[in-house]
Amino acid sequence: MGVKLEELLKLPSLKEAKVVSGVTNLSNTVTSLSFLEVSDMSFFNEKIGLPDEYYAGELVIGSFFTIKDDVEKQCEAIRRLHGLGELGIILYYVGIVLDDLAQEVIDVAEELGFVIIKMPENDYSLRYNEVIVEVMTELLKQKSTENIVNEVLEKTSSLPEHLRNVEMSLKSLSDLLRANIILTDDEGEIINQIRWPRNSKLKLANFLLSADRNANAPIKKENCWVFSREIFHKDNGVLNVYLVKEHEPLTPSECEQSVELIQVALNLWGKKHGEVSEHGLVKAILNDESEKMYRLANKLSIDVKSINLMWLFQLKGPEKEKEIKAEVLDYVTKYYHTSIVQLVEDQLIVLLGNYRYNEQEVALSENFLGSSQFVMEIESLAVCPRLRNTTDVRKNYQLINSLKEELSTLFIGKKHFTISEVRQVQQAIECVRSGEVKVDEVLRNIQPIIENTEQMHTLCTFLLDADADYQKCGEYLFIHKNTVKYRIKRINELLGCDVTRISDSYEYSITCLVHRIVRRSNTI
């Protein structure tokens, strides 16, 4: 089910619209249409956004009314919509609601491959319903369940790697069939439960007890039609699939194809999908498998809602990983009631919550590195405090993984990082990618000293490598700490600021990162 975006642009309601970004992605398939009522992403994330959803194939309609005077928030809306899987936006009332569509917004969308379709400017006669009716008519024309397996697998395979999993396949299947889907183990414990619609209050557990697994077609139970089938998976043993649809039954073909799809999804992404272990719990968190996460947390008696801190170790090799894991676990259990320590690929993930003491916990990670007998086997440790939920865990994990190679090259001799420093690296890289004008604007901060190699080396080492510590900086530079103090004092005088003050330190840290990235690029 779906229509290529380039075909939709031929519709009468869209043929006068102009594509201003993402032209190379017009061959993508649109599977649904939604209305962007809240375009302020800070409000959306806090009040509306669902942490466990991804809207692959969706196109949104909106006007940016609530952020019409804030270009930065418009850019953030584009980034967030792209991050949610949206293909693009049909933008209404440019010249009326928005005075103009800023080039910065177009540039962000173009970089992401996000499609912006701008409706005719200054046209008061435009109506949302014209596009909604025509696009939905085309989508419904294409609704077919003749090839469920290929369609859902293709959609799941197009998702970011961390979202290619059984749960996302079940969500896509649920949306396609407009049906509830339940997957249980052989003891009847629910592994996955996908509701349709997502806010459904239907008591699905009631249908599990009376389901007939030998029936070849759905059987009516109350106001619903229920189909169930027992399947076998080599890693998970016997599993039970339940399809529950309100008001009308699924066809026998739809039921058989759904079972086949679930079997294939389990083969592709479901190794140990039903395992009950802390490792399985961590993988469920990182893969955004919410149902599985809560099921495992409940079985393991782990309060995942209490997790508010993550340590992420990058290890140099597998030789000592078990010993490092044991050492970390022994250390953190002294301080936290909730402590999960698991190896995932070449990383050690530590999830913590319910701190046992009243005093500050901020120095615990650095103290661990200082006392570890395996410190030489640890490449780096990134610390992420103040996590609100497991969505924050996953996002920080992805961010650190995307930048882990940069951390080791931009910070010299440093092992311990805060998530703030990781975000600074992200900002610096985005600055460099924005082009020469943006880079020149940022480097203007250090213009008075940029040609002085000694002063630049001292400033970068002081802010980035030595955490603004005079003693540590002196050790890195092989000079006395008083010499460092003198140099920093002189640098402050030339720059007209105090780089040891938090507000100035943050800005100049990003500037130093940009300087190192540019200098590295010039030497390649």
- CATH number for the domain spanning 357: value is 3.30.70
Same domain, 135 and 252: no
- Among 410, 384, 385, 414, residue whose Cα is nearest residue 399: 384
> Which residue has better confidence, 521 or 111?
111
Query: Of the given ranges (2-11, 141-150, 174-183, 476-485), which has the lowest mean pLDDT?
Result: 141-150
344 Cβ contact list (under 8 Å, min separation 6)? 279, 282, 283, 286
| Statement: residue 233 has pLDDT above 80 | yes
Tokens for 191, please give them.
């592994």
Assign residue 2 a region: left if phi > 0, alpha if psi is -120 to 50, beta otherwise?
A: left
78 domain residue, yes or no: yes
pLDDT bucket at 314, cuts 50 / 70 / 90: very high
Residue 434's φ and ψ, nearest 5 degrees, are: -70, -20
Name the DSSP class of 361: -
**Residues 155 and 28: beta-carbon distance below 8 Å:** no
**133: phi then psi, degrees, rounded to nearest 5:** -65, -45
Please write the tens of the pLDDT for every residue from 159-172: 777 678 888 899 88
- Decide if 346 is inside a domain: yes
Residue 428 lies in a domain: no
Task: Identify the domain containing residue 246 by its residue range.
Answer: 146-268
Same domain, 414 and 472: no
- Residue 207 located in a structural domain: yes
Rounded to an integer, the average pLDDT of 243-265 is: 92
Q: Are 462 and 483 in contact (CB under 8 A)?
A: no
184 to 62, 205, 236: CA distances (angstroms)? 40, 11, 11
Tell which of 218, 243, 268 closes a domain. Answer: 268
CATH code for the domain in which residue 485 is found: 1.10.10.2840
**CATH code, domain with 251:** 3.30.450
Name the average pLDDT for the chain.
Answer: 88
Residues 20 and 135 both lie in one domain = yes
Which H or E run includes 389? none
Tell me, yes or no, whether 1 and 136 share the same domain: yes
Residue 517 pLDDT > 90, yes or no? yes
Average pLDDT, integer, range 142-156: 78
Distances in Å between the alpha carbon of 63 and those of 70, 105, 138, 438?
13, 13, 23, 28
pLDDT score at 200: 86
Q: How far apart are alpha carbons 91 and 345 in whole angstroms?
A: 42
pLDDT digits (tens, 9 = 90+) for 412-456: 999 999 999 999 999 999 999 888 899 999 999 999 999 999 999
Q: What is the pLDDT of residue 272?
A: 66
pLDDT for residue 73 is more than 70: yes
Q: Which residue has the higher pLDDT, 359 or 108?
A: 108
pLDDT tens profile 275-309 = 678 888 998 898 887 878 888 898 888 999 999 99
The arithmetic mean of pLDDT across residues 242-269, rounded, is 91
Q: What is the mean pLDDT of residues 148-163?
A: 81
- pLDDT (0 to 100) of residue 46: 55
Q: Is residue 321 part of a domain?
A: yes
Domain match, 222 and 318 both: no
How does residue 139 score in pLDDT terms, banded at 50, 70 and 90? confident
pLDDT of 274 over the 80 cut: no
pLDDT of residue 142 exceeding 70, the answer is no
User: Among residues of the chain, what percentage have pLDDT more than 70?
Assistant: 94
Residue 387 scores a pLDDT above 90? yes
Q: Answer with the one of 419, 443, 458 that is the final residue of a domain.
A: 419
* Mean pLDDT in residue range 122-140: 91
Does the structure show a pLDDT above 80 at 38? no
Does residue 234 share a domain with residue 298? Answer: no
Q: Model's pTM, two decimal places?
A: 0.62
Contact in structure between 11 and 138 (CB atoms under 8 Å):
yes
As separate numbers, helices (DSSP H) first and strands (DSSP E) second, the chain gives 20, 17
pLDDT digits (tens, 9 = 90+) for 75-122: 989 988 988 889 999 999 999 999 999 999 999 999 999 999 999 999
The pairing of strands 378-384 and 416-418 is parallel
Tell me whether residue 370 is in a domain. yes
* CA angle, residues 210, 212, 215, in degrees to nearest 5: 155
Same domain, residue pair 374 and 309: yes
In a shared domain, residues 124 and 10: yes
**pLDDT given at position 44:** 63
pLDDT of residue 478: 94
- Asked whether residue 508 is assigned to any structural domain, the reply reads yes
Other CB atoms within a 10 A radius of the CB of residue 219 amount to 15
Range from 73-77, 83-87, 207-211, 508-512 carrying the lowest mean pLDDT: 207-211
Instruction: Give the list of residues 6+ apart from residue 370 with CB closer than 8 angstroms, or none.
Output: none
295 with 413, same domain: the answer is yes
> Do residues 451 and 445 touch, judged by C-beta distance below 8 A?
no
**Tally of structural domains, the chain:** 4
Indicate whether 3 and 136 sit together in one domain.
yes
Question: Tell me, what's the pLDDT at 50?
Answer: 56
**216 or 423, which is more confident?**
423
In this prediction, residue 42 has a pLDDT band, given cuts at 50, 70 and 90, of low
Whether residue 401 sits in one domain with residue 357:
yes
- Cα 369–375–379 angle (5° rounding)? 95
Does position 349 have pLDDT exceeding 60, yes or no? yes
Question: Among the listed ranges 176-185, 233-242, 301-310, which one has the minimum average pLDDT value?
Answer: 233-242
Among 90-99, 266-275, 378-387, the minimum mean pLDDT is found in 266-275
509 and 438 within one domain: yes
Residue 108 lies in a domain: yes
Average pLDDT of the residues in 474-481: 94
Q: Inform me whether the pLDDT recorded for 502 exceeds 60.
A: yes
Which of 229, 245, 268 is the last residue in one of the domains? 268
What does the pLDDT read at residue 222? 81
- Residue 397's pLDDT is 93
pLDDT at position 400 is 93
Q: Does the pLDDT value for residue 147 go beyond 90?
A: no
